[in-house]
Amino acid sequence: MPQRLEPSHPQAHPAVVWLGFMAMCIGMFMAILDVQVVATSLPTIQAALGIDPDQMSWIQTAYLIAEVVAIPLTGFLTRLLTMRWLFVASIGLFVIASAGCAISGSFGELVTWRIIQGFSGGTLIPSVFSAVFLLFAIERQALATTIAGALAVFAPTVGPIVGGFLTATYSWHWLFLINIIPGIVSALLAWRSLQKEAGDVSELRRLDALSLLMMATTLICLELSLKEAPTGGWTSPYVLLLLALCLGSASVFIWRSLHRNGPVVDLRNFGDRNFLTGSLLSFVLGMGLFGSVYLMPVFLAFIRGHDALEIGTTMLVTGIAQLITAPIAVALEKRTDPRLLSALGFAVFAVGLAMSAFQDPRSDYDAMFWPQVIRGVAIMFCLLPPTRLALGSLAPERIPDASGLFNLMRNLGGAIGIALIDTIIYMRSGPLGQKLWDRLQAGDADAASFVGVPLAAVTGDTGSADAATMMMLDPLVQIAAAVQAINEAWMTVAALTGCAIICLPFARRTPILE
């Protein structure tokens, strides 16, 4: 039978425990929000610092690579520093790096501070999910997971509107300055409220430096290959070299992790059926969650021509639906088999993703409203039950490592999902555009309606378009083809999300919380 996990520090006053936990949630929220608010204002930062357009994406890539390397190290750092000091040190370094970003005067300075910011922020998310199971009795874990989960998925939703507002109203510097006061407050509250423990400095003596190097190389090469492959081609020499380095370093890392005592990251957690199932669900959720948050701004910016503030306002629907549903998710999560709730959540989330696969070039807020509502309703059911499946039955000493792996799977799912989406958009837009031209010239009224032109404007008196007409209509056809490619990406992500349900029968039944 799975073990019913109790908090490791039950002697602390409940109000103090909750205060420390909420402080950690604030830090996590700021770290996740930072990625989105910066993404909306990259052109402004580029213009202000005179950054080459080809280098602009590194402002985000540097953060994400450092973050993904830090996430699996959370277990090791927790044992070394304790949860209290790891959080205080991480959020403190995050605040310092945020200030450094705000005062950066060059591309090199900004990227350096973004690396530090990403690494310090990367430990905050798994630390919070570890705290759920280390600080609270089992009857409080559902509520704590809901609070952490709601903030984790609400931050990307409000990020565009916050970033757009700050840039339009003040300046790009405030994208980073907003982290300082909340970061300092959360550090002080956590320092005062979280349980005092003694760190284990012997972890440094046992540290497997080669495994650490191989893990970092694997994740960095994987992130870089996923970034470059959609535009450079999956078979380009650079991408193939990165993938080869990734595979080679991953093989060394996995072998050493499975055969050495005290590994940097304990991959043996995947031997637990429930943890493996929960991690697979987390991976697929990352594809759907990050993919949808990526696809909507792409459509609204490049197809509809909206600015960051308008995009953020449109995307707020998902966050509101999610917050409204959260209490219902908590109540059901306490009384229902997490396998059943996970199946329900992923099925509904897949439907919400598929509903966005029928957009045309004129789709806007109204057409996007109900798909967002459906996805918002489903998100908490895709997050809470898999988290309990993965972490709820593990022994306390295994949770920090397991939480790092669990959250890493979601981030990797998001990175792979976005690479898949970009590949579909880049590869399919051209052929779909040619098919639209063929249909238009064949007199297909449905194709003309989708493009948004009268069929007569295409065929004319001669029954076919002349060169001048084709030149005039080409931008509209290219936009329509891009929309069709985006729709294919939505449907692909929806199908993969629905397939996640297949792994649920392999999980063991877990105890009902009430």
What does the pLDDT average to over 76-96?
A: 93
pLDDT band of residue 13 (cuts 50, 70, 90) is: confident
Of 482 and 146, the one with more pLDDT: 482
Among the candidates 244, 263, 282, a domain finishes at: 263
pLDDT at 1: 37
pLDDT at 170: 87
Return the minimum-mean-pLDDT range out of 260-264, 309-313, 344-348.
260-264
Give the count of domains, the chain: 3
Among the candidates 199, 231, 263, a domain finishes at: 263
Indicate if 258 and 269 belong to the same structural domain: no
pLDDT at 4: 42
pLDDT at 463: 53
Joined tokens for residue 243 = 């993938």
Q: Return the percentage of the chain with pLDDT > 70, whole number.
A: 94
Please say if the pLDDT value at position 168 is more than 90. no
pLDDT at 3: 43
pLDDT at 405: 92
pLDDT at 513: 55
Of 105 and 142, the one with more pLDDT: 105
**What whole-number distance in Å separates Cα of residue 226 and Cα of residue 115?**
18
Only one residue has tokens 């590994």, namely 263
pLDDT at 8: 45
Only one residue has tokens 């003596």, namely 205
Nearest to 341 by CA among 501, 150, 139: 501
Indicate if 37 and 184 belong to the same structural domain: yes
| Other C-beta atoms lying within 10 Å of the C-beta of residue 2 | 14
Read off the pLDDT of residues 409-445 as tens digits, 9 standing for 90 and up. Answer: 998 999 899 899 999 999 999 999 999 988 888 888 8
Indicate if 257 and 271 belong to the same structural domain: no
Please say if the pLDDT value at position 273 is more than 60. yes
**By residue range, what is the domain housing residue 24?**
1-207
Indicate if 349 and 473 belong to the same structural domain: yes
Indicate if 158 and 80 belong to the same structural domain: yes
Q: What is the 3-state secondary structure of 354-381?
A: HHHHHCCCCCCHHHHHHHHHHHHHHHHH
Kindly tell me the burial class for residue 239, based on how many C-beta atoms sit within 10 Å of its own C-beta (0-12, 13-18, 19 or more).
buried
- For residue 133, what is the domain's CATH number? 1.20.1250.20
What does the pLDDT average to over 161-171?
A: 84
Indicate if 242 and 309 belong to the same structural domain: no
Indicate if 240 and 271 belong to the same structural domain: no
Of 257 and 94, the one with more pLDDT: 94
- Helix, strand, coil percentages (3-state) for the chain, rounded to 5, are 80, 0, 20
CA angle (165, 166, 169) in 5-degree steps: 80
Averaged pLDDT score across all residues of the chain: 88
**What whole-number distance in Å separates Cα of residue 227 and Cα of residue 224?**
5
pLDDT at 158: 83
Indicate if 244 and 294 belong to the same structural domain: no
Please say if the pLDDT value at position 129 is more than 50. yes
Please say if the pLDDT value at position 252 is more than 70. yes
Type of residue at 147: I
Q: Are 172 and 45 in contact (CB under 8 A)?
A: yes
pLDDT at 5: 42
pLDDT band of residue 6 (cuts 50, 70, 90) is: very low
Supply φ then ψ for residue 446, to 5 degrees: -65, -40
- Show the DSSP H helices in 233-272 as ranges: 237-259
CA dihedral over 420, 152, 211, 507, signed as positive or negative: negative
pLDDT at 341: 93
Indicate if 140 and 65 belong to the same structural domain: yes
Please say if the pLDDT value at position 2 is more than 50. no
**What whole-number distance in Å separates Cα of residue 415 and Cα of residue 491?**
18
**What whole-number distance in Å separates Cα of residue 353 and Cα of residue 355?**
5
Indicate if 182 and 306 belong to the same structural domain: no
Among the candidates 207, 226, 250, a domain finishes at: 207
Return the CA Rg of the chain: 24
Return the minimum-mean-pLDDT range out of 14-18, 58-62, 157-161.
157-161
Indicate if 193 and 221 belong to the same structural domain: no
Q: Are 351 and 371 in contact (CB under 8 A)?
A: no
Predicted TM-score of the model (pTM): 0.88
Indicate if 297 and 175 belong to the same structural domain: no
Question: Please, what's the largest Cα pairwise distance for the chain?
Answer: 86
